[in-house]
Amino acid sequence: MVLENGKRKNPNILVTGTPGTGKTTMCTTLAEATQLCHINIGELVKEKNLHDGWDDELDCYVLNEDLVCDELEDVMEEGGNIVDYHGCDFFPERWFDCVVVLQTDNTILYDRLSRRGYKDSKLSNNIECEIFQVLLEEAKDSYSEEKVIALKSDNIDDISRNVATLTDWVRNWSLPSQS
């Protein structure tokens, strides 16, 4: 997976967005289409206990960013990964060649999160994040502008189009030359 000179042979992609925007659905399909490895951070945190306990208010684990980054360091250096998480500002910029922010219409997102059983406070917090484009701004603040792309993710047609676009990008990817 790694070239002799230490450069990655395959790209790493970060897919982020508010919960309910379709990250895991798109990442699973994209991994199948590209043969890249899908890393779901939420699942990894649970499996490897990369957290500092449970947050009753937010109804989720408290992610330990250092443990997550330590766990991923080697695999990210190899390349060929699609990382799926609703945050992005703690990952090293050098890990990613493309940062995708999925965005969903607020009404559609509200319905998706309601079906998941989100409590009122968690529901409104996530809808506000989407309205104010918090994750897009976080991505733009954390990564170079040419790496960040926002993609609409309202329905299965959007997901299919996004997977096709990103599959083409992966096929045409080459690591920028090091001067």
Q: What is the pLDDT of residue 177?
A: 55
Q: Which of 55-59, 104-108, 135-139, 155-159 has the lowest mean pLDDT?
A: 55-59
Q: What is the pLDDT of residues 75-120, one digit of tens each?
A: 999 999 999 999 999 999 999 999 999 999 999 999 999 999 999 9
Residue 23 marked in a binding site: yes
Q: What is the pLDDT of residue 174?
A: 77
Residue 161 marked in a binding site: no
Residue 21 marked in a binding site: no
Q: In the predicted model, is pLDDT for residue 52 greater than 80? A: yes
Residue 20 marked in a binding site: yes
Mean pLDDT value of segment 141-161:
97
DSSP the chain: -B-TTS-BSS-EEEEEESTTSSHHHHHHHHHHHH-PEEEEHHHHHHHHT-EEEEETTTTEEEE-HHHHHHHHHHHHHH--EEEE-S--TTS-GGG-SEEEEEE--HHHHHHHHHHTT--HHHHHHHHHHHHTTHHHHHHHHHS-GGGEEEEE-SSHHHHHHHHHHHHHHHHH--PPPP-
Q: In the predicted model, is pLDDT for residue 1 greater than 50? A: no
Specify whether the CB–CB gap between 102 and 153 falls below 8 A: yes
Q: What is the pLDDT of residues 162-176, one digit of tens each?
A: 999 999 999 999 766
- pTM above 0.85? yes
Residue 22 marked in a binding site: yes
Q: What is the pLDDT of residue 73?
A: 97
Q: What is the pLDDT of residue 59?
A: 86
Q: What is the pLDDT of residues 11-40, one digit of tens each?
A: 999 999 999 999 999 999 999 999 999 999
Q: CA 2, CA 10: separation in Å to the nearest integer?
A: 8
Domains along the chain? 12-164 (3.40.50.300)
